[in-house]
Structure 1
């Protein structure tokens, strides 16, 4: 899948300078993965998904126009029909049973108002998160664009070095943002575990996807996105930084005995007890040029040029559970019978 964008590689597109931060409620939690396991029902492991309600097990990029096929989105900006998803966190008890860890709402609930149902916080930015100037220029994603960050098979630090910015925060309170761990935090976290997924920000300028959903994008050649590192010559087009923040409410599972002798009791739905397999998927689906307009808007968090919807509308947007398996009881095995290794 290709997109002719030679002009973008030479900076001929309109400059973009903005930061968007917005909550998305849960769209569905089930074993579907149209990027890695297209057409498979069920897929290999459980995911939590947000975004447009055209999400299903088969979403070919050549013909799937998310804005026209979706009738609602679980995200705040009603022009964003993209889909974002990650694996699901489970607690493993000493008797070998598993319990799905709930997600704490991101956004909503301020002043006693409506509360988002689970989901995640999504960021699109042109510079470091807290740089209010947002001076850099980026090129917004194009229709059909998709990518994957991380690898569900990784189990050690050396493997995970490829992904510079997939991290965890052991939250002492709602405002905790440091330090960041590469694997699961080795201690109880009083306010939960935040999983951070930062996607690569350099594009080859041609391919909307690649066989492994990764080779068409890259991290900066040196440094990081936040430090203003340059894109490599092979991937010269600078994209917005997408950051997903998911807060897993581990407060019911903070028995210090579970963390004795360097252990910790959490596993990803892929069967990973280390945290090094952290991964996330993205299917672009912003309507028309709405994302480019927002990136061109020179705004910080607020986006008056975009259409917003209330929390109640976000919570109402769902897709059917087509897998129909129990994911909420105490389970004797992970969904999909994934071994913990």
Structure 2
């Protein structure tokens, strides 16, 4: 497959992480450590792996970016850059966790003294710089941000449910995994652990999957993602056809959350719509770009983490940052269909989105952050009344895997972005209305359908699993799925979208 080849600068932090991650690359491409047990237990019909030792599976750090408010505009670029460096530090620390299993087994304080302690010091230095940058720009930094410097280790099967640090370093799942660097953890003499599900990375595991027949109808456990439209209000729809990334536009940037930072996402994205979307694209670049959308007035960018089939395929990014060098391996699966639809409000008319409005929905760090911003819906065609947020569905033969996202549809009426990239947007309330101070805009709904061979789960192991690309420490958990959008429709088309929805028509 191809990829975005636009020339980009590489920040020092990325070079440092690249060097560290290179330790995990072996002769056959990346072999990333996996931390799952050699003992299994059955709980409620689902196979779970249980720790055979006293090592942690991943690193849980408070999300500083979600706690920052009121960053002056002229400081936002610097702050976003610092936050991206902090993400790189976590990736680096996780890689060290993955490649020092033997040392951890021989020293109960190794993780704290050699990984978590130094990580806290590095994070503290960045938080100090963030506070300084905010204050220099005329803002007032939160003096309590230092409390977010410390990280914890915790088990892979313990999801953080409240957005706080969860778990401890003495009760986690572990396995000795694979180690591509040949250091520290090779109990079998060849770096191979037979309990790594055959995929060589930290997840997914058997317990990340559920038979769709075992999911109760109408039991979706996401707090967000409420559909905005209904029987009343503005009932029209507008569908834009932008393809399924036939142009092979991929990169591991995130223009919204980490502008100006190469590999800011640490995982690879699919892009449809705008064809000039990378970390260094300006609004002018977006406005002047080509688009894959059939309606050439829609130059919006729509992007999401790729799904991969962990079948041993060496993709174009098998040795790259964001790809195999950070545990995202296997065959990239393009959607068989990508439906992009805008719908209305239950409570009345919608207003036009401002050009260059940015929306992030879901949370790429939900496994460690908790599910407050999780907005994932996984299902199977023919079973759309059965939705899950924290499991990948096992679909029957002939049924497609469905991945659906309903974006926030309430806008603050002023800002195209906010310091944490969330506060300028809100979800509708239970009655379909927007919170006070917000107004309804067309709600973007993204429905992706995939033809995926159903993984085999047997004796607590999953063979040829599929998984969403993720930050390395998020262990490819389905709850980390997310979606991104930047509105680059021209004024005439946006007015057409609004008129169509408010008239109750179905347009495209």
Shorter-chain TM-score range: 0.5 to 0.7
Q: 1:263 to 1:202 in 2, by over 3 A?
A: farther
Equivalence for 1:103? 334
The answer (yes or no) to whether the contact 1:203–1:218 under 8 Å persists in 2 is yes
**What is the root-mean-square deviation of aligned Cα atoms in Å?**
2.9
Equivalence for 1:207? 415
Unaligned runs of 5+ in 2: 1-72, 74-232, 314-326
Pick from 270, 289, 295 the counterpart of residue 48 of structure 1.
270
Q: How many residues align?
A: 253
- Is 1:217 paired with 2:420? no
SS of the residue aligned with 1:24? coil
Equivalence for 2:469? 269
The structure that is helix-richer by fraction is: 2
Any residues of structure 2 matched to 1:152-301 within 5 Å, and which?
Answer: 152-155=364-367, 159-163=370-374, 165-172=375-382, 176-190=383-397, 191-220=399-428, 222-223=429-430, 228-234=431-437, 236-251=438-453, 254-256=454-456, 258=457, 261=460, 265-270=465-470, 271=472, 272-297=475-500, 298=503, 300-301=505-506
Q: CA deviation at 1:199?
A: 0.8
Which structure's CA Rg is the greater one?
Answer: 2
State the alpha-carbon separation in 1 of the partners of residues 417 and 328 from structure 2.
38
Q: 1:85 to 1:55 in 2, by over 3 A?
A: same
The answer (yes or no) to whether the contact 1:16–1:296 under 8 Å persists in 2 is no
Q: 1:162 to 1:36 in 2, by over 3 A?
A: closer
State the alpha-carbon separation in 1 of the partners of residues 255 and 418 from structure 2.
14
TM-score computed with the length of structure 2 as normaliser = 0.45
Equivalence for 1:89? 307
Higher relative contact order (CA 8 A, sep 6+): 1
Equivalence for 2:168? none
Q: Tell me the alpha carbon deviations over residues 136-160 of structure 1, each in whole angstroms, 9 at most, x when there is no partner.
A: 311121112111111111117x922
Q: Tell me the alpha carbon deviations over residues 58-97 of structure 1, each in whole angstroms, 9 at most, x when there is no partner.
A: 134xx53633x12x31123221000010011123359999
The answer (yes or no) to whether the contact 2:250–2:269 under 8 Å persists in 1 is yes
Q: 1:243 to 1:38 in 2, by over 3 A?
A: same
Farther-moved stretch of structure 1 (49-58 vs 86-95): 86-95
Q: 1:189 to 1:85 in 2, by over 3 A?
A: farther
Q: 1:255 to 1:45 in 2, by over 3 A?
A: closer
Pick from 142, 145, 153 the counterpart of residue 357 of structure 2.
145
SS of the residue aligned with 2:497? helix
Q: 1:17 to 1:78 in 2, by over 3 A?
A: farther
State the alpha-carbon separation in 1 of the partners of residues 455 and 363 from structure 2.
29
The answer (yes or no) to whether the contact 1:188–1:259 under 8 Å persists in 2 is no
State the alpha-carbon separation in 2 of the partners of residues 87 and 263 from structure 1.
22
Unaligned runs of 5+ in 1: 2-14, 107-119, 129-134, 304-341
Any residues of structure 2 matched to 1:63-142 within 5 Å, and which?
Answer: 63-64=283-284, 66-67=286-287, 69-70=288-289, 72-92=290-310, 98-106=329-337, 120-127=338-345, 136-142=348-354
Q: Tell me the alpha carbon deviations over residues 112-169 of structure 1, each in whole angstroms, 9 at most, x when there is no partner.
A: xxxxxxxx210101047xxxxxx8311121112111111111117x922434x42111
Q: 1:199 to 1:97 in 2, by over 3 A?
A: closer
